[in-house]
Amino acid sequence: MRKDLILHLSALSVLLLLELLGIFSDYHQGNFARILVLAAYGVGYNILFGYTGLLSLGHALFFSAGLYASGLSVYHLDYDIGQSIILAIGISAFISSLIGFLALRTIGVSFMIVTLMFSQIAYLSILYFGSITRGDEGFVIQQSSRIFFSLDLSNPTIRYYSALLIFSLCIFINLWIAKSSFGRVLVAIRENSDRALMLGYNVQSYKLLSIIISGTISGFAGACYGILFGYVGASFATVSYSIFPLLWVLIGGAGTVLGPLVGAIFMFYLIDYASDITDAYMIIVGVSLLIVTLFARRGLLGELRYRFFKWIP
């Protein structure tokens, strides 16, 4: 069996055993369920930034598109969970196709600004149509609507296993992309898009496909987040939720499959523990991020790959 496959199966097995053996307290069980779904969102971002080299500041658009597509369809249209997630995937794919087509008319800093602008349009639209979306207040998805194949997704244990399944699906998609010829072309575009173009690859088509895959995975994660945790709100469409996946990927290691998970765990517990120490916890967070940036410029997992384990995808 391939070493990279063993690594990822081992990581997932550890996450499974932590729950099966009852090692998690209720607090950490809930935290990790949230982290796993958000790390799945980070996986989507990593495909665009880590592998293709496109820096987006508007990925909250895709996450919130999936979140609201599933949440509103359950809340207003009485869709079941399966229908709402399929709808969310379809809408996320459509929106990412449209945004990708428009945003790829720009490059560099202009691409970042355009994606940020589209994300802000989505956020303001959520607020403007408050009679439907409930605006800043958001809305709760009732427990009775969060039943999937007789499984109550509001149950903490079932929610954790569901989050682990969602994350597992996303990283295996990422692993498949990383090992495929498609993934190698994306890396070639990241390293030198002019050379990839000279070799005969349609760089724009590959970038567009990368945006579609990235946006669809991010939308899927958003849909699952709303269903598992029962809340849909405009805060998930703010700039912060575009910056978070960038931080997770940078800290964990851009272009590494498990990087978003490592980064999400690090950031979540850094903020959690720092806020217990002082109200000015962002100072501790900022200094910690500065140290990581200075001494692990490729991210935590990225440095391990660079220095010791070249085979880590």
Residue 2: its pLDDT value, please?
Answer: 79
Axis crossing angle, helix 259-277 with helix 26-46, rounded to the nearest 10: 130
Distance CA 299, CA 11 (A): 18
pLDDT band at 51 (very low <50, low <70, confident <90, very high): very high
Q: Is the pLDDT of residue 190 over 60?
A: yes
Q: Is the pLDDT of residue 19 over 60?
A: yes
Q: Is the pLDDT of residue 89 over 90?
A: yes
pTM, 2 dp? 0.94
Residue 96: its pLDDT value, please?
Answer: 96
Residue 1: its pLDDT value, please?
Answer: 55
Give residue-wise pLDDT tens across range 137-189. Answer: 999 999 888 998 888 999 999 999 999 999 999 999 999 999 999 999 999 99
Q: Which residue has the higher pLDDT, 292 or 228?
A: 228
pLDDT band at 249 (very low <50, low <70, confident <90, very high): very high
What's the token pair of residue 220? 């899927």
Q: Is the pLDDT of residue 313 over 90?
A: no
User: Can you tell me the mean pLDDT for 29-51?
Assistant: 95
Q: What is the mean pLDDT of the chain?
A: 92
Residue 135: its pLDDT value, please?
Answer: 87
Distance CA 207, CA 4 (A): 25
% of the chain beyond a pLDDT of 70: 100
Residues 19/157, Cβ–Cβ less than 8 Å: yes
Residue 5: its pLDDT value, please?
Answer: 86
Give residue-wise pLDDT tens across range 261-306. Answer: 999 999 999 998 888 888 888 888 888 888 888 888 888 998 888 8
Residue 34: its pLDDT value, please?
Answer: 96
What sections of 21-108 are H helices per DSSP? 26-46, 60-77, 81-103
Would you report the helix, strand and coil content of the chain in percent, each value rounded to 5? 75, 5, 20
Residue 22: its pLDDT value, please?
Answer: 81
Give residue-wise pLDDT tens across range 194-213. Answer: 899 998 999 999 999 999 99
In terms of phi and psi (left: phi > 0; alpha: psi -120 to 50; beta: otherwise), the region of 150 is: left
User: Can you tell me the mean pLDDT for 89-108?
Assistant: 94
Residue 155: its pLDDT value, please?
Answer: 93
From residue 139, alpha-carbon distances to 142, 184, 235, 253 in Å are 9, 42, 12, 35
Residue 243: its pLDDT value, please?
Answer: 93
